Amino acid sequence: MDRPDEYICTKCDHHFQEAEYKQFEDEDGLFKLHPTCPKCGSAEITLKQWVKEKQQE
């Protein structure tokens, strides 16, 4: 599987290559793994490439 060049946390602006995965329970009681920021633990992360593309628009 190809990995992105870099993630960016939209909450703390931390740049990183390896996301941590934490287990969250959804509204149906099912547990799912979500990539999170290793610095603050937020699941609000995006790919650096997406940020670059949005800035070019």
Q: Is residue 2 part of a domain?
A: no
**pLDDT category of residue 3 using cuts at 50, 70 and 90:** low
Where do we find the tokens 């800035």? 55
Q: Cα–Cα distance between 22 and 44 in angstroms, integer?
A: 12
24 domain-assigned: yes
End-to-end CA separation in angstroms for the chain? 28
Which residues constitute the domain of residue 17?
7-56
- The answer to whether residue 1 sits within a structural domain is no
Q: 13-49: per-residue pLDDT in tens? A: 999 998 899 998 988 999 999 899 999 999 999 988 7
Say how many domains are in the chain. Answer: 1
Q: What is the pLDDT of residue 4?
A: 58
Q: Does some domain include residue 25?
A: yes
